[in-house]
Amino acid sequence: MDSILVEGGHELAGEIPIAGAKNACLTLMPATLLSDGPLTLTNAPRLSDIQTMTQLLQSLGTEVTQMQGGQVLSLSSHALTGTRADYDIVRKMRASILVLGPLLAREGRAEVSLPGGCAIGARPVDLHLSALEKLGAELDLRDGYVHATAPSGGLRGGIVDFPLVSVGATENVLMAATLARGTTEIRNAAREPEIVDLAECLRAMGARIEGEGTSTITVEGVEALSPATHRVVSDRIELGTYMLAPAICGGWVECIGGRMDLVAAFCEKLDAAGITIEETARGLKVSRHNGRVRAVDVATEPFPGFPTDLQAQMMALLCTADGVSRLEENIFENRFMHAPELMRMGARIDVQGGHATVTGVERLKGAPVMATDLRASVSLILAGLAAEGETIVNRVYHLDRGYERVEEKLGAVGARVSRVAGR
């Protein structure tokens, strides 16, 4: 299992290209199931999760052609050969549940393994299922699978009123609604940029959607969808992660392709911490030169609030801030697993349930640490950039799920980061 070695204490200077969004691509790819025409995705990120989704779609009969080193994906589902998403794939990647809605809408049936939980929480899918039932789906849960069937005439439009905001459930029902007969209204819908990106892609395929990016999305079902080409939106979580690199160890980085509207709430907190952010013609330039960052309080919320996927990374910064910061994790029930690892590096963190109090220290100390999930992994690397001495982040297979060539991107701006095979 690979490890990442980080030698701390080096200021950064240079440009980091921001890739297409993993969490957009993982919902755009299943959209191919809705149409028998080709769907071409450009600006696709080169990540192991994308490979896993490719395998899943191929197991259903989708033809996937990767071009330009994986940055362009051509997907064609003109002749599906199956409607079953097996446990051995779904357990590796929870986003596999996003084939459920499209399969139901296109084929009238689906057998999708329940994803099970993961390190950060139980991650139930009850909201996905209840939303699809509102479109007429009949669901039978047995032997760890959802056995779903649509009415003989196909799914029909309905009113879906989510009791809490769910990105995945919004995506699943949005995709299913595009082929349902009649009108669907999705209330308390997720507003993330990945939802907007999905709606734009579906509209390019001929879907009739209004209101994406707001809490109410309306869909008029159509008979069939058509071929389309869509550019995957820039990854706001990768963007925020790399914006934190100069913030934590000094210097500057220009994140090419970064857009302020994707990370507005996050930028407000960086600004309050004393970090300089400048919008340039090519992206966002972030710099810090003078002294320690200021402590700030952070509470994660659905978009447009502070993203839960940047909480771990922000905690790494606040471990070195001048003062006490309070972090509140309101989306997932167990998303402070990076805290004990940061404490091995000398951080002072008190975790009480969904709250963490961080008392900043002058300097973290390098240490061997263990990654527990995707965002925790990169939070430990960020901490290593600022720490005295060497940090070894183990179990980085998590990292490769969500970050393209992290050691190359950081190395290109002066960080001393290297990958050690098979520790």
Angle between helices 311-318 and 374-386 (to 10 degrees): 20
Q: Which residue among 16, 19, 25, 26 contacts ligand EPZ (CB under 6 A)? A: 26
User: Binding pattern to ligand EPZ, positions 84-103, x when CB under 6 A?
Assistant: -----------x--------
Choice between 122 and 159, CB closer to ligand EPZ = 122
Nearest to 15 by CA among 379, 386, 409, 325: 409
At closest approach, how far in Å is the CB of 335 from ligand EPZ?
A: 8
Q: End-to-end CA distance of the chain: give it in Å, rounded.
A: 5
Choice between 87 and 292, CB closer to ligand EPZ = 87
Our CA dihedral for 383, 325, 363, 333, rounded to 10 degrees, sits at: -30
- Residue in 25, 118, 249, 267 annotated catalytic: 118
At closest approach, how far in Å is the CB of 331 from ligand EPZ?
A: 5
Tokens of 22: 């993993």
Residues numbered 198 to 217 that lie near ligand EPZ (CB under 6 A) are none
At closest approach, how far in Å is the CB of 168 from ligand EPZ?
A: 3
Choice between 250 and 402, CB closer to ligand EPZ = 402
Known catalytic residue at 118 = yes
Choice between 170 and 178, CB closer to ligand EPZ = 170
Residues numbered 35 to 94 that lie near ligand EPZ (CB under 6 A) are none
Decide: is 398 part of the binding site for ligand EPZ (CB under 6 A): no
At closest approach, how far in Å is the CB of 251 from ligand EPZ?
A: 26
Question: Per residue, what are the HEC states of the chain?
Answer: CCEEEEECCCCEEEEEECCECHHHHHHHHHHHHHCCCCEEEECCCCCHHHHHHHHHHHHCCCEEEEEHHHCEEEEECCCCCCCEECHHHHCCCHHHHHHHHHHHHHHCEEEEECCCCECCECCCCHHHHHHHHCCCCEEEEECCEEEEECCCCCCECCEEECCCCCHHHHHHHHHHHCCCECEEEEECCCCCHHHHHHHHHHHHCCCEEECCCCCEEEEECCCCCCCEEEECCECHHHHHHHHHHHHHHCEEEEEECCCHHHCHHHHHHHHHCCCEEEECCCEEEEEECCCCCECCCEEECCCCCECHHHHHHHHHHHCCCECEEEEECCCCCCCCCHHHHHHHCCCEEEEECCEEEEECCCCCECCEEECCCHHHHHHHHHHHHHCECEEEEECCHHHHHHCCCHHHHHHCCCCEEEEECCC
Residues numbered 304 to 323 that lie near ligand EPZ (CB under 6 A) are 308-309
Cβ-closest residue to ligand EPZ?
Answer: 168
At closest approach, how far in Å is the CB of 153 from ligand EPZ?
A: 26
Decide: is 402 part of the binding site for ligand EPZ (CB under 6 A): yes
At closest approach, how far in Å is the CB of 292 from ligand EPZ?
A: 28
Residues numbered 117 to 176 that lie near ligand EPZ (CB under 6 A) are 121, 123-128, 164, 166-169
At closest approach, how far in Å is the CB of 6 from ligand EPZ?
A: 21
Residues numbered 363 to 392 that lie near ligand EPZ (CB under 6 A) are 374-375
Choice between 313 and 391, CB closer to ligand EPZ = 313
Tokens of 415: 């960080």
CB 156 within 8 A of CB 180: yes
At closest approach, how far in Å is the CB of 364 from ligand EPZ?
A: 23
Choice between 254 and 329, CB closer to ligand EPZ = 329
Site size toward ligand EPZ (CB under 6 A) is 22
Decide: is 113 part of the binding site for ligand EPZ (CB under 6 A): no
Q: Which residue among 332, 386, 399, 413 contacts ligand EPZ (CB under 6 A)? A: 332
Choice between 18 and 127, CB closer to ligand EPZ = 127
CB 74 within 8 A of CB 40: yes
Choice between 213 and 389, CB closer to ligand EPZ = 213
- Catalytic positions: 118
Interface residues with ligand EPZ (CB under 6 A) are 23, 26, 95, 121, 123-128, 164, 166-169, 308-309, 331-332, 374-375, 402
